[in-house]
Amino acid sequence: MSSLQTLIVIAIVIIIFVLIALLLWMNRKQLKELDAIDQKIATIKGMQLDRDITRLDKMDLAGESLTTLNTWKKSFQDAMTNKIPQVEKLVTEAGKDSASYRLFKARKSIRQAQDIILPTFEDAKNTKDVFSELLESNRENQVQYDALLKTYRSQRKMVLADSFDYGTALDQIEDDLAEMESDFEEAKNLSSQGDHVEAKRVLSKIKIALANLDEQLPKIKAAHHQLETVFQDQLRELADAYRKMLSEKYSITEVNFLNEIKGIHDDIDASRSLLSELKVQALNEKNKKIATKIDALYGILTKEYKARPFVEKNREKVFTAINRQQIASQQLVEKLRHIDESYELTHGELDKSKRLTKEITNMGHQFTIDTQNIADGKGVYSEIENSWIAMMERLRKIAEEEQEMSQNVDGLYDSESVAIDSVKQFKQEVSLVYRRLKRRHLPGSPESFIQMYTLVVNEIKKVSQELDQVRINMEKISTELIQISDDVERLKREADDIINSANLVELTMTYSNKFADNDAVKKAQQAATQMYQVDFNYKEALDTIATAIEKVEPGSYQRLENAYYSELSTK
């Protein structure tokens, strides 16, 4: 036998073994599935639903309970007479086919049996639950009936004992209790007739009603107490306090107090209606709003009571403060008028002081009105307290403003003296600069210096004239003096530059003579002489001759300049 034939034989043998193993596995799996179906059938039969039906039939059920029993009895009977026998037949056929290894045929029967038994098994479990509930419903209903009746009687007894505490809600509570009593009678009749399902529904209704009533009763009692005791006492207290305050010359204008109390009584009537209808949530919200209104009225009275001691204690203090500041303001106005004759008040001090004086006068008028209203019993103490506190704070700020204005104008006299001295000083400094240049005997002065000198002299002259005016603007003069000070310093520096440049020209010209045979130096000497003698341009003359000798002898001018300034610093 060739190698190929050997391989083919081996492959065939392997395939045969695989097929046999597969058939054995499928057979074993089908046997397990058949066994599972048998187990479900046995479980259904073990539920003893027929026994439950017999017991239920003896209970003489009626109504919803009887309808439920008949529905599920029919489902059970259909399962026992049709579905389970059909499944058992399919199982028997599948078992024979599986034993004969007609596996695909057996598989089909198993699938059919499973499709029937699985929903049948679920229906059987549900049927068992329903039958168990029906069997227990009578006993459970009786236990629940007794417990609910006990709770009902306890609540009714409590309501009767505390009937006064429920106010207008009592009628509705008794109606609810009467309805529950009717429900108890209905549940009893249904149970006696065998309709335990419907009886259970009625008992559930009673249970909910009792729970609601149990939750509402404390809230109703509290709300009634609040309406008829707490609020009434508070409103009487508020009305009495208000009348007493009027007799003690308090005045309340923030609200119409008695109308507010009347409105709250109307709100209480509305709450009573909610109470009679047992609308507990709406009632609580309404009562909260009433409590807020009452608290607001207490707040108004308390505010006035607290404000009166402050007003009585600070009356003289406010009066004194107004008068004192009024005198100080009038004195400042007179002072500013006098100063305004000699000085220009550039920041509107006089007008501002007049406005402040008028403001203080208005405060005095308001204070007079407040005190008269207090005497007439028309004064609202809280408003007066707020007004006087604001007055005192405003008087403090006015005092600070007026003190600052007074100090500022007091400085005008000193500023004038300083300005006069400054003008004298500037005149002396300019004169010294002028004489210093004259003593140097230069051929002339540069045009820029002459212009600067003329500018400074004119500025000083202008300020002198302004200081001679009847009314002096010291702010303007101070600004001009600062500018003059800067210009005088510039003039000094300009004069120094002229003198130093002229001196250095002369030194450098003398030194340049050692290079007399140099044509460039000769030309520079001629040009520098022209600039010095004719143009009076000493800086340009210095640059010209210095540049020339530096080209011939580098560093020579720097030595001359250093020596000059070194000698100058020692003088």
Kindly tell me the burial class for residue 360, based on how many C-beta atoms sit within 10 Å of its own C-beta (0-12, 13-18, 19 or more): buried
Q: Kindly state whether residues 362 and 490 are assigned to the same domain.
A: no
Q: How far is Cα 335 from Cα 338, in angstroms, rounded to an integer?
A: 5
Of 308, 316, 291, 290, give the one whose Cα is nearest residue 252: 308
User: Pseudo-torsion of CA 66, 71, 73, 76, nearest 10°?
Assistant: -160
Crossing angle for the helix pair 349-376 and 280-340, to the nearest 10 degrees: 130
Q: Mark whether 407 and 446 lie in a shared domain.
A: no
Task: Return the DSSP state at 369.
Answer: H
Q: Are 264 and 235 in contact (CB under 8 A)?
A: yes
Residue of 102, 90, 115 lying closest to 26 (CA atoms): 102
Number of residues assigned to the chain? 571
| pLDDT at residue 378, rounded to an integer | 87
Which of 84, 108, 136 corresponds to the end of one domain?
136
Tell me, yes or no, whether 365 and 310 share the same domain.
yes
- 537 shares its domain with 394: no
pLDDT at 523: 93
- 407 and 509, same structural domain? no
H/E/C letters for each residue in 332-350? HHHHHHHHHCCECCCCCHH
Short-list 464, 345, 355, 458, CA closest to 401: 355
For position 517, what pLDDT does the model report? 87
Q: Which residues face 458 on adjacent strands?
A: none
* CA distances in angstroms from 509 to 444, 503, 553, listed in the order given: 19, 10, 14
DSSP 324: H
Residue 146 DSSP class: H
Residue type, 115: D
- Say what the pLDDT of residue 539 is: 93
Work out the average pLDDT over 502-527. Answer: 90
Residues 447 and 398 in one domain: no
**What is the residue whose two structure tokens read 């001009």?**
480
Range of the domain at 358: 249-411
Residues 470, 557: one domain?
yes
Q: Looking at the structure, do residues 499 and 562 belong to the same domain, yes or no?
A: yes
Q: What is the pLDDT of residue 200?
A: 76
Return the minimum-mean-pLDDT range out of 70-79, 266-275, 384-393, 511-520: 70-79
User: DSSP character for 166?
Assistant: G
**pLDDT score at 316:** 93
Task: Indicate if 472 and 386 belong to the same structural domain.
Answer: no
206-235 pLDDT, tens per residue? 778 777 777 677 787 888 788 888 889 999
d(CA 364, CA 140) in angstroms, rounded, equals: 89
Residue 343 forms beta bridges with which residues? 472
Burial bucket for residue 416 (CB in 10 Å: 0-12, 13-18, 19+): middle
451 and 396 assigned to the same domain = no
Q: How many Cβ atoms are within 10 Å of 322's Cβ, its own excluded?
A: 22
pLDDT for 60: 46
Cα–Cα dist 84/40, whole Å: 10
- Within-domain flag for 215: no
Q: Kindly state whether residue 141 falls inside one of the protein's structural domains.
A: no
Share of the chain above pLDDT 70, in %: 67
The domain boundary, picked from 136, 152, 187, lies at: 136
The answer to whether position 192 is within a domain reads: no
Residue 17 amino acid letter? F
Q: State how many domains the chain has.
A: 3
Reading the block at residue 435, the tokens are 């004489």
Q: Which of 266-280, 370-384, 476-490 is the least confident region?
A: 266-280
Q: How far apart are CA 445 and CA 271, in angstroms?
A: 107
pLDDT computed for residue 194 by the predictor: 60
Contact 510, 486 (CB under 8 A): no
How far, in whole angstroms, is CA 110 from its chain's centroid? 72
Task: Please choose, from the candidates 283, 291, 284, the residue with its C-alpha nearest in 3D space to the C-alpha of residue 238.
Answer: 291
* Tokens linked to 449: 């210096």
Q: Is there a single domain that holds both residue 114 and residue 30?
A: yes
- The per-residue pLDDT for 9 is 57
- Nearest Cα residue to 321 out of 363, 362, 285, 353: 363
Q: Residue with structure tokens 């005088």?
A: 488
d(CA 287, CA 223): 8
Does 164 reside within a domain? no
Mean pLDDT confidence for 162-172: 67
Contact 99, 107 (CB under 8 A): no
pLDDT in tens, 72-103: 556 666 666 666 676 666 666 655 555 555 55
- CB neighbours of residue 347 within 10 Å: 11
CA-CA distance, 473 to 466, in Å (whole number)?
Answer: 8
Residue 194 phi, psi dihedral angles, 5° rounding = 90, 5
243 lies in a domain?
Answer: no
Phi, psi of 329 (to 5 degrees): -65, -45
pLDDT value of position 61: 47
Taking the alpha carbons of 431, 436, 442, 446 in that order, is the dihedral positive or negative? negative
How many Å separate Cα 173 from the centre of its chain? 47
User: Which pTM value belongs to this model?
Assistant: 0.51
Q: Which parts of 513-537 fold into alpha helices (H)?
A: 519-530
pLDDT band at 455 (very low <50, low <70, confident <90, very high): very high
Is 228 inside a domain boundary?
no
274: exposed, middle or buried (C-beta count within 10 Å: 0-12, 13-18, 19+)?
Answer: buried
Q: 370 and 299, same structural domain? A: yes
Measured CA to CA, the distance from residue 166 to residue 145 in angstroms comes to 27
- Quick one: what percent of the chain has pLDDT higher than 90? 26
CA pair distance 265, 290, nearest whole angstrom: 9
Q: How much is the mean pLDDT over the chain? A: 78
Start-to-end Cα distance in the chain = 142
Confidence band, pLDDT 50/70/90 cuts, at residue 387: very high
Q: Is residue 196 part of a domain?
A: no
Query: What pLDDT is recorded for position 322?
Result: 92
**Of 264, 324, 322, 250, nearest to 293 (Cα)?**
264
Q: How far apart are CA 322 and CA 314, in angstroms?
A: 12
**Neighbour count for residue 62 (Cβ, 10 Å):** 16
**Residue where one domain finishes, among candidates 85, 117, 136:** 136
Q: Among 50-59, 176-185, 429-438, which stretch is predicted with the lowest mean pLDDT? A: 50-59
Separation CA 317–CA 2 (nearest Å): 138
pLDDT value of position 493? 92
470, part of any domain = yes
